[in-house]
Amino acid sequence: MIMKKTKILTLGLLLLACICLLGSCQERKALRTTTEVPSELLGTWVLTARIVDGQEQPANDRVIKLVFRKDGTFHASFRGEPNQTWVAAGKGAYSYKSPLMSLHWDSGRTVPLLISVLNPDRIRVHHGREMTPMLDQEPDEIFQKAQQEKGPTR
């Protein structure tokens, strides 16, 4: 059991390292999208669960945070454990035509995602080599919209 968790964590960290290396190899201006994105998708989304065998399982390791801005750009952060600080994983532009969102990373890679809005604060994300669910792919993930932190008032 410990070896399985270690293997998953190691693979996740290797994936993050590859993404970071690709992002630092070349600079490209972010692509701008003309697609109108629903306001409920804008903001900060944090991975909270993965769908394993049809059931939600809490995401305790390899957690991702995505921030979608109104100007069509995004940035991603990663952490391996819940108490670890967030590490920048990359940035770029996105395009959205329901239910398909494409992340256009500054490194040049484009990643298609199928987005299902479960409610205004929860989305289900399917990603993988194929856009239809198949065996041996990464499990679908549940993202929760992060609450805006309120600063001091005068």
The pTM score is 0.69
pLDDT per residue as tens digits for the range 98-125? 899 999 999 999 999 999 999 999 999 9
Task: Confirm if 114 and 133 have CB atoms less than 8 A apart.
Answer: no
Q: Is residue 7 part of a domain?
A: yes
**Can you give the CATH number for the domain in which 86 is found?**
2.40.128.370
Confidence of residue 127 (pLDDT cuts 50, 70, 90): confident
User: Is 80 exceeded by the pLDDT of residue 129?
Assistant: no
Mean pLDDT on 9-23:
47
Q: What is the pLDDT, as a whole number, of residue 152?
A: 62
Within a domain: 154: no
Predicted confidence (pLDDT) at residue 21 exceeds the cutoff of 50: no
For residue 135, pLDDT over 70 is answered with: no
The total domain count for the chain is 1
**pLDDT at 14 > cutoff 70:** no
Residues ≥6 apart with Cβ < 8 Å to 141: 47, 49, 50, 51, 59, 64, 124, 125, 127
Residues spanned by the domain of 77 = 2-145
Q: Which of 94, 131, 87 is nearest to 110 (CA)?
A: 94
Q: For the segment 29-88, what is each residue's pLDDT rounded down to a tens digit?
A: 434 444 566 788 999 999 999 998 889 999 988 899 999 999 999 999 999 888 899 999
In a domain, 153, yes or no: no
Burial of 66 (0-12, 13-18, 19+ CB in 10 A): buried
As a whole number of angstroms, the distance between CA 81 and CA 85 comes to: 9
Residue 151 maps to a domain: no
Residue 152 maps to a domain: no
Q: Which two tokens stand for residue 118?
A: 């479960």
